[in-house]
């Protein structure tokens, strides 16, 4: 399958909608996670208060990000970790590959990390002759298939059990009709061998704690614990926005994240790692390297609307709730982060020019904002990015479409505005509309405008292709009122 790109969202989306297997998987996802999430948040005494608290903690961190990063780095280092700073994907990849090469490792075990997907770490490792083994079941499936994740929490959601059984039969020699338990057991058996051999483990980070230099990683499978416990060297790749000020701040985020993500009250495992092992008696890796990655994040701080993007905790709730994601799936977005949050992050990370269709991949229904555990106003962000595309407002992001092309649109809206200015004009336009609409009204609705009218005014054809509007009534309310008064008695 050819890799899909964000430039072709429209084309990708049409193909996705025509794929019955994908549609089934997406329905299953929306239904299952939707129901589980609802049940899980019902167990929280005051869900809204927790969201408010989480958002204000994130605001606190982002507003003083320099201060908190320095504190985190200092505290982590005083506990024995080594901090690396990476401005962009290239620097992050070269830092990690150099660490792996210096330790003479030819293979590394990896737990799931969206950031390592974002910086394309696996490609960088492979280019240096290092084999990265994804150990999260979903990620391993994707890796075996040579694909990319289609969801930030359940990466292989677009694949059916039958497709995975076929893939395993082809790649690792299981039965072509193996069930879920057998497939899972096969992954366990094969990946255990890798865990036993690996000398370097690479993980992501869910939260970093500034006051202690701790990192916390959540999971269900146990592969994160194996990745961070068995190898001699642990490399954690972390976005600079992942910080929380205090250790106890974890409470509210551990309440919000699993419930929003998988609808669990808590995932099976959370590991809080603070520096390296203390003495020979202790367990765990000898070395902990934390790579702090910017890669386009700090410039999101420059505007009050865009900086909200950095509050995201990657739970995936907005994907599951989004009618667009539910219809087209993750791959259509052609980017590492799909769904509503992807539609706002991708253009900021990769540039609007590469992803200018994504801010339009939304009906602005607001379901994403409703479910977001950190109250990111995604519709506001989408509108902000749309404005950047059409107006070229400055936020370090280059405008891709200049107003010139929009002159017609601007004229149409000025005309529309002028017709509401005085009662006389309003009545005049009402009359004109009544006369002209005859050409296009069917059953009291202005439906799809086609034929002569559409070719005379193409935007009208495009606008009405997907939208019905009620026809202008033969008699307005004011006219009716006047007539009835004239005919005598009280208006009915």
Partner 1 sequence: MTSRTAMLEDIRSNLAKSAPFEHLYHHLQPSTLSPPAPTPDYSTKDLADRFSNELAAVGGEIHRVATEQQAVETVSAILGEINAKRVAISDIDLFEKADLQNIELIAEPSREELFAIDAGISTAQFAIAETGTLVLRSSMERHRLVSLVPPIHICVLNSKDIRPSMYSVLEEMSNKIDPTITFITGPSRTSDIELTLAIGVHGPKRLIVILID
Ranges within 436-465 binding partner 1 (CB under 8 A): none
CB nearer to partner 1: pick between 7 and 377: 377
- CB-nearer residue toward partner 1: 161 or 442: 161
Contacts of partner 1 in 86-145 (CB under 8 A): 86-87, 91, 135-138, 141
**Cβ atoms < 10 Å from Cβ of 56:** 13
By CB under 8 A, residue 330 contacts partner 1: no
Q: What is the DSSP letter of 318?
A: H
Which ranges of 64-130 does DSSP label H, i.e. alpha helix? 65-78, 89-102, 114-118, 121-127
Among 226, 243, 352, 385, binds partner 1 (CB under 8 A): 226
Q: Give the separation between CA 57 and CA 361, rounded to whole angstroms.
A: 30
Distance CA 267, CA 276 (A): 24
Q: In whole angstroms, what is the distance from residue 368 CA to residue 380 CA?
A: 11
How many Cα atoms within 13 Å fall on the side-chain side of residue 23? 8
Of the candidates 206, 294, 322, 341, which one interacts with partner 1 according to CB under 8 A?
Answer: 294
Least Cβ distance, residue 69 to partner 1 (angstroms): 7
Strand, helix or coil for residue 93: helix
Among 5, 7, 85, 447, binds partner 1 (CB under 8 A): 85
Q: Which residue has the tokens 């193909």?
A: 15
Question: In this structure, is the dihedral angle defined by the CA atoms of residues 27, 33, 39 and 42, taken in order, positive or negative?
Answer: negative
Binding part of the chain for partner 1, among 14-22, 243-251, 399-407, 415-423 by CB under 8 A, reads 243-251
- Give the tokens for residue 171: 């790649």
- Per CB under 8 A, which of residues 157..216 are in contact with partner 1? 157, 159-161, 164, 180-181, 183-184, 187-188, 191-192, 196, 212, 214
Binding mask 246-285 for partner 1 (x = CB under 8 A): xxxxxxx-xx------x--xxxxxxxxxxxxxx--xxxx-
Q: How far is it between the farthest Cα atoms of the chain? A: 102
Among 37, 242, 307, 331, binds partner 1 (CB under 8 A): 307
| Alpha-carbon span 15 to 6, nearest angstrom | 14
Segment contacting partner 1 by CB under 8 A, of 155-163, 449-457, 460-468, 477-485 = 155-163
Per CB under 8 A, the segment of 62-70, 124-132, 347-355, 426-434 that binds partner 1 is 62-70
Considering beta carbons, is residue 151 or 464 the nearer one to partner 1? 151
CB of 291 to partner 1, least distance (A): 10
Which residues neighbour 301 within 8 Å (Cβ) at sequence distance 6 or greater?
A: 62, 65, 307, 310
Compose the 2-41 pattern: x for residues touching partner 1 by CB under 8 A, - for all others. -----------------------x--xx--xx--------
Question: 3-state class of 289 per DSSP?
Answer: strand
Report the C-alpha dihedral over residues 290, 294, 300, 302, rounded to 10 degrees. Answer: 100
Considering only CA atoms, give the Rg of the chain.
27
Closest CB to partner 1 among 241 and 318? 241
Q: Which stretch binds partner 1 (CB under 8 A): 156-164, 340-348, 430-438, 477-485?
A: 156-164
* Contact of 205 with 236, CB cutoff 8 Å: yes
Q: Least separation, in Å, of the C-beta of 333 and partner 1?
A: 20
Shortest approach of partner 1 to residue 93 CB, angstroms?
A: 13
d(CA 191, CA 226): 10
Sites for partner 1 among residues 387-426 (CB under 8 A): none
């Amino acid at each position: 399958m050819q890799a899909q790109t964000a430039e072709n969202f429209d084309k990708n989306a049409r193909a996705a909608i025509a794929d019955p297997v994908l549609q089934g998987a997406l329905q299953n996802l929306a239904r299952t996670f939707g129901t589980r999430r609802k049940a899980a948040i019902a167990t929280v005494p005051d869900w809204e208060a927790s969201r408010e608290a989480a958002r204000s903690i994130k605001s606190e961190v982002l507003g003083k990000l320099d201060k908190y990063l320095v504190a985190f780095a200092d505290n982590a280092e005083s506990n024995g970790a080594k901090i690396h700073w990476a401005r962009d994907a290239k620097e992050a990849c070269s830092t990690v590959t150099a660490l792996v090469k210096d330790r003479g490792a030819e293979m590394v075990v990896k737990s799931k990390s969206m950031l390592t997907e974002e910086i394309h770490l696996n490609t960088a490792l492979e280019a240096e002759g290092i084999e990265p083994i994804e150990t999260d079941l979903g990620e391993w499936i994707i890796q075996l298939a040579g694909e990319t994740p289609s969801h930030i929490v359940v990466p292989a959601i677009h694949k059916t059990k039958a497709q995975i059984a076929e893939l395993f039969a082809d790649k690792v020699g299981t039965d072509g009709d193996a069930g879920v338990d057998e497939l899972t057991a096969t992954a366990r058996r094969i990946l255990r061998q890798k865990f036993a051999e690996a000398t370097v483990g690479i993980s992501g980070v869910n939260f970093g704690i500034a006051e202690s230099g701790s990192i916390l990683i959540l999971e269900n499978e146990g592969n994160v614990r194996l990745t961070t416990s068995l190898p001699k060297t642990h490399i954690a790749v972390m976005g600079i926005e992942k910080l929380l000020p205090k250790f106890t701040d974890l409470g509210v985020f551990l309440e919000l994240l699993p419930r929003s993500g998988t609808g669990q009250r808590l995932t099976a495992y959370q590991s809080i790692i603070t520096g390296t092992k203390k003495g020979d008696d202790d367990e765990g890796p000898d070395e902990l390297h934390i790579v702090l990655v910017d890669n386009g994040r700090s410039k999101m701080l420059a505007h009050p609307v865009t900086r909200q993007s950095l509050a995201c905790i990657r739970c995936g709730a907005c994907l599951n709730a989004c009618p667009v994601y539910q219809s087209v799936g993750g791959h259509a977005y052609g980017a590492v982060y799909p769904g509503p949050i992807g539609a706002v992050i991708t253009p900021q990370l990769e540039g609007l020019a590469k992803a200018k269709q994504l801010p339009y991949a939304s009906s602005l229904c607001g379901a994403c904002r409703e479910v977001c555990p950190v109250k990111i106003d995604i519709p506001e962000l989408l509108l902000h990015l749309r404005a950047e595309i059409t107006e070229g407002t400055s936020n370090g992001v280059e405008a891709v479409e200049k107003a010139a092309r929009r002159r017609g649109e601007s004229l149409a809206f000025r005309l529309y505005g002028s017709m509401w200015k005085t009662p006389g004009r309003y009545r005049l336009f009402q009359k004109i509309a009544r006369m002209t609409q005859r050409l296009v009204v069917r059953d009291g609705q202005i439906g799809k405008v086609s034929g002569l009218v559409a070719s005379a005014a193409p935007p009208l054809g495009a606008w009405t292709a997907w939208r019905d509007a009620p026809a202008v009534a033969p008699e307005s309310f004011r006219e009716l009122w006047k007539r009835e008064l004239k005919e005598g008695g009280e208006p009915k």
